[in-house]
Structure formats: structure tokens, C-alpha cells
Amino acid sequence: MGMDSLIGGTIWDEYSQKVTELMNNPQNMGEITEEQAEAMGAKLIVADFGAESCGDAVRLYWAVDPKSDIILESKFKSFGCGTAIASSDTMAELCKGKTVDEAVKITNIDVEKAMRDTPDVPAVPPQKMHCSVMAYDVIKKAAAQYKGVDVDSFEEEIIVCECARVSLSTLKEVIRINDLTTIEQIVDYTKAGAFCKSCIRPGGHEAKDIYLVDLLEEYEKEKMAKAADASLSGNIAFADMTIVQKIKAVDKVIDDNIRAMLIMDGGNIEILDIKENGGYIDIYIRYLGACSGCASSSTGTLFAIENILREKLDQNIRVLPI
């Protein structure tokens, strides 16, 4: 089987007809000269952006009316793959007739959707989504140049997924509100991780400072901490706690009511295990120091420990020294 037939049967099927047409016949490729901009009474803006992940680059030309800030003409030159050409051409078209402030709001998702043949079918394969990100970034550079500001002034939030332009704050909020626990759920809710997948975990084609797996791990830790706090404040029944929560709750009661007295007498206590046994919750303890040889450790002291734990936590507690 030849390479052409292999490509024709697989890779090219993932590109929309619009993309393949623009690859070969872009409508806005070229440049705007100073003379052309002056003839329109416009200010010429030329901005460059290169993508380190793939080596592609794009140059964007704007002719902007300084009185209205409207982009009268928009053209590009692209140094890269066919997808970069199609994305850049679509980006240039979307800029026309918009003010600079409106153009900055054009996202890479807008570019990708404008290249679709049908609304629900992606225009390019996931690994090529970065090309539309490049188009988005060069718009910001052109706008920053026109306004005389730093390009970072247009980026108010940390972007975790460059392909879908999903911010850190959005991801944290969606994960928390919807109690998301898997990457698949994050993709469904936000589209983050749906394209090149570099933001999911380390090892993708582009290194990230923050990955989706990090956010899930962080959220799980937050839930565990909140659950522990809730258990200690009495919001969760002792019998319904996890083993870790039970041990923390028992330790807190002992710290608050018993341990200081034991230490004054040269002893201490540690929790070894907690098990459900029929209708009882058995707490296995070990006496330390002077308590280990004290006669009252199996009578009065044990009775006091068991009583306070029953009062504070659960009436079905039994304390068993080992």
C-alpha cells in the first residue's frame, strides 16, 4: 500500500473540506504595505508569533482606522504546515471589520469552529489544534502593538489548556461545583484535554506548569481535609467516618480530655486500630510509659477513657488495651 493511499484513508479524513481548501487556496495570504495602509487612511500593524512546540510561525498584517479602531484589512504570511495556513487565513478573515478590542476576543476555538463543515465535527485532528492557538496568540500581539501595551495585559488568567483556552480558575470552579473526579468528566464539562492532550499529564508534546491530573489530586486532598474538619466538628457521625477520620477524631478527644493527665503521671497512650465488631466500634490502644505498668490502666483509667469517647463520639465504643 502506498503512502498516499494510507494518508488518504486515515489522516486526511480528520480534516474538514474547508481546511483542505484553505490549505491550497488561502484567501487572505499576502502582506499590507505602508503605502496601501496610507491609501486607506489606516495605521499599519505587523505582528509575528512562533510556536515552539512545532516550529510554525505566522505574521499578521492589520490596516487599522485610527479614528474608529476598526480593522479595515487583515492579511497574513505563514511559515509552517497546511493547518497553520488554514488557521491563519480564517483568523485574518475573522478580524476584518472588527475593532481591535473585538478582535482580541477572538479565541482559537472561534477559529477552529469557523473552519468546520458541520457544527459538531472538529475541523482538524487533536494534534493540530495548536495551529489555531498560534492564530489566537498573534492577534494579541498585534493588538498590544496597536495599543502600545504589553501583550500580557490581554491575558488575565493562567491558561491550563491552550487548545480550548480554559483557565485555571474555570477548571477549579467546574471541578468543585460538579464534584469531578476523572479526566473524562473534565473533558466533557470544559473541553480541556480534548485536543492535543498535553495538558492532561506530563509526557505530551508540550510541557506545562499545571496539568489536569494535578487539579484532580488537589481537589481530592481538599475534599479529604474538609471531611476531616467536618468529622472533628461533629458534622459527620462517628460510625460513618473513614478509618482515618475515626483515628483523627479519637486522637482529638484524647488530646483535649485525657492525654495531658496521662503525661503528668509519666505515661501516654496511642491508637493502634479501630474495627467494627457486631454492634460495637472497638478501639485498640496501647499504654506508653508509666501507664503500661499501672494497675489502674485496666480499670479506672480505661473506664475514664471509654466513657469520654462514648460521650464525645459514639455510645457503642469499646476501648481494648493491647
How many Å apart are CA 157 and CA 146, to the nearest integer? 22
> Under a CB-based contact definition with an 8 Å cutoff, are residues 269 and 291 in contact?
yes
Mean pLDDT over residues 29-48, rounded? 97
pLDDT tens, 250-306? 998 999 998 888 888 888 999 999 999 989 999 999 998 887 767 666 678 889 999
How many Å apart are CA 146 and CA 251, to the nearest integer? 63
pLDDT tens, 181-231? 999 999 887 888 988 899 999 998 788 899 999 999 999 988 877 766 665
Eight-class DSSP state of 272 = E
10 has a pLDDT exceeding 60: no
> Under a CB-based contact definition with an 8 Å cutoff, are residues 183 and 213 in contact?
yes
The domain made up of 3-154 has a fold known as Sufe protein. Chain: A (3.90.1010)
Which pLDDT value is given to residue 6?
Answer: 35
Out of 3.30.300.130, 3.30.70.100, 3.30.2390.10, 3.30.70.1530, select the CATH number for domain 238-321.
Answer: 3.30.300.130
pLDDT tens, 59-79? 999 999 999 999 999 999 988
Which pLDDT value is given to residue 28?
Answer: 96
Catalytic sites, residue numbers? 54, 131
Between 93 and 11, where is the model more confident? Answer: 93
Gap between the terminal Cα atoms of the chain = 74
3-state SS of the chain?
A: CCHHHHHHHCHHHHCCHHHHHHHHCCCCECCCCHHHHHHCCCEEEEEEEECCCCCCEEEEEEEECCCCCEEEEEEEEEECCHHHHHHHHHHHHHHCCCEHHHHHCCCHHHHHHHCCCCCCCCCCCHHHCHHHHHHHHHHHHHHHHHHCCCHHHHCCCCEEECCCCEEHHHHHHHHHHHCCCCHHHHHHHHCCCCCCCCCCCCCCCCCCCCCHHHHHHHHHHHHHHHHHHHHHCCCCCHHHCCHHHHHHHHHHHHHHHCHHHHHHCCEEEEEEEEEEECCEEEEEEEEEEHHHHCHHHHCHHHHHHHHHHHHHCCCCEEEEEC
pTM of the model: 0.54
CA 100 to chain centroid, in Å, comes to 29
How many Å apart are CA 298 and CA 150, to the nearest integer? 73
How many Å apart are CA 177 and CA 115, to the nearest integer? 33
Which pLDDT value is given to residue 54?
Answer: 59
pLDDT tens, 107-164? 877 888 899 999 888 888 876 776 777 787 899 999 999 999 887 766 656 889 888 7
| pLDDT category of residue 4 using cuts at 50, 70 and 90 | very low
